[in-house]
Amino acid sequence: MCWINNTRRLLKTLACSVLSFCAVSQTPKLVVWITVDQMRYEMLHRYKHRWTTNGIKRFTDSGFVFNNAHYNYVPTYTGPGHASLFTGTTPRVHGIVGNHWYSRSKAKMVYCTNDTVLKNQPSPQHLQSSTIGDELRLSNSNNSKVIAVSLKDRSAIFPAGRHGNAAYWFDEHHMQFITSTWYMQSLPKWVNTFNKNLNIYDRVKKGWKPYYALSTYTASTPDTMSFEASPTGSARAVFPYEYLKTDAPGTWIKGSPQGNALVTDFAMEAINAEALGTDSYCDLLSISYSSTDIIGHATGPRSVETEDTYIRLNIEFEKLFSFLDARIGAEHYMVILSADHGAAEVPKFLIDQNIPAGLLTDDNVLQHLKRYCQIHFKDSTLVEHVCNHNIYLKSEVSSNVPKIQLINSLRFALTQLQGIAQVFNADEIIQATGADGSSIMQIHNGFMPEHSGDLVYTLKPQWMDHESKGTTHGSGYNYDTHVPLLFVGFGISKGHSFEHVNITQIASTLAELLHICKPSGCTALH
């Protein structure tokens, strides 16, 4: 293998930074794209003492690390994150503007994988761009296989794309992996066999105890904190977490590191059963780990539960690398590690440290605006809905209330709320130009007139729409946008870069390595 000269790693493109093009006819046999749900970049360093040689250290010691990779839009949620990673563009183009959004025509919320034709069968219907996997299959008459697995449907469906072979996710009610008729009419035999042998009760009855002595968890806050909720549904957020017969096992396993182990086991079985990486056509496997997000939402990014989850995730990486080395050969596959978004600190934790933070829910905003409209316009129905910091006005505004007057009045009303940072109207957002990291351009990149609101507001740093315990994500601030981006394996030179890059550049770079077309909506050059 001919390696790229390290002096080239500071060039503008990801491709020139990480890839060797010495043998242009060569491609990896398998690309494994790992997405960790809710992983902040700083966790790579905060938990550095926990990483092992064949776990995350394999990325940092042998691969290429982008230290300054960011999302360039809002809202930074799971659905938009996975769609953006694999399409190489932002919600403005690929259409997934949130996990949910408000439909004016239906006067109700729409889930991002909802399919109006398949009826109760999730699908990529709303995805308006091809993915890197779609393009890979189109490049060779569908000889490449593209498979995605996760605990969440949206975290499997958007990576699989519209033309992938399969998207599999875990149904917590039936306690098995399922798919959608978008991809196939019935589950393959190997999936049915895997489900039959899952033994969920045997997995959960082991409970969840810290991997090491709690006294060694020095990168975290103490175990018992009043602002933490239990990710498993237990009465208290404290170790050890013991499974009770009254608990729902499917829900319990997703809220513990065992959920991630379940995904690894399924992914390795998929590699075996589908013979991924064993012929002359490159295959793509997407693995999205969701338990990190479920645990992070409940306990926050500095809890011992979160630290323990990453300790155990590192072990999952060890298991996966060892399996791939034996099955495919270390020189024949590439692994990408990324995240769909970061996470904010728990507001109560910051307030205790005398750092500004707070809570302002969409419902708080809606009720405030309804009261304002009743007082000033004698009509509390002028604001129809608020979600994802988008404000949707009633389609038919009375003639005695000019829409521009209403919009300007509501903007003023919003600025009176504690926690509001900025407010923009739809015309300003659509016509916006400027620096990619500015608030209005982040909103512009995540805005679609048919799905988005008449007004969009941002919150001040560390303010969020959430409950009093735990945390969330969704903002355009660094704690939500700055995520890990690491490559290792076939064609990857060892190194690192501190240049600012956007996560939408990954799919474009991968397309160059695989010598295929970029996704149809791709807006990133590299």
Does the domain at residues 34-88+123-350+478-514 carry the CATH identifier 3.40.718.10?
Answer: no
Confidence of residue 308 (pLDDT cuts 50, 70, 90): very high
- Which range (6-15, 356-365, 448-457, 496-505) has the least confidence? 6-15
Annotated active-site residue 78? The verdict is yes
Per the listing, tokens 């699908």 go with: 123
Number of other residues whose CB lies within 10 A of the CB of residue 135: 25
Catalytic residue among 60, 76, 78, 90: 78
Using CA atoms, how far apart are residues 291 and 252, in angstroms rounded to an integer? 10
| CATH class assigned to 361-417+420-459 | alpha beta
User: Quick one: average pLDDT of 84-107?
Assistant: 97
3-state SS of 412-444 is HHHHCCCCEEEEEEHHHHHCCCCCCCCHHHHHH
Task: Measure the CA–CA gap between 44 and 65, rounded to whole angstroms.
Answer: 11
Segment 24-80, tens digit of pLDDT: 458 999 999 999 999 999 999 999 999 999 999 999 999 999 999 999 999 999 999
pLDDT in tens, 237-293: 999 999 998 889 999 999 999 999 999 999 999 999 999 999 999 999 999 999 999
Query: 3-state class of 148 per DSSP?
Result: strand
The CB density around residue 467, as the number of other CB atoms within 10 Å, is 13
Asked if residue 4 has pLDDT above 80, the reply is no
| Separation CA 152–CA 288 (nearest Å) | 8
Which two structure tokens, joined as six digits, stand for 29?
Answer: 């046999």
Taking residues 500-516, what's their average pLDDT? Answer: 95
Q: In which band, very low, low, confident or very high, does the pLDDT at 398 lie, cut at 50, 70 and 90?
A: low
Contact residues for 394 (Cβ-Cβ < 8 A; gap 6+) = 381, 382, 383, 384
Alpha-carbon distances, residue 186 vs 123, 191, 237, 304 (angstroms)? 15, 10, 39, 41
> 75: cis peptide before it, omega within 30°?
yes
Residue 37, CA distances (Å) to 19, 58, 76, 79, 295 in order: 26, 20, 11, 11, 10
The domains of the chain are located at 34-88+123-350+478-514, 361-417+420-459
Residue 314 has pLDDT above 60, yes or no: yes
Rounded Cα gap, residues 458 and 456, in angstroms: 7
The 10s digit of each residue's pLDDT in 412-436 is 999 999 999 999 999 999 999 987 7
pLDDT of residue 15: 64
Measured CA distances, 371 to 351, 381, 394 (Å): 29, 10, 15
List helix spans (H) across 255-346.
258-273, 291-299, 304-327
Both tokens assigned to 437: 């990291």
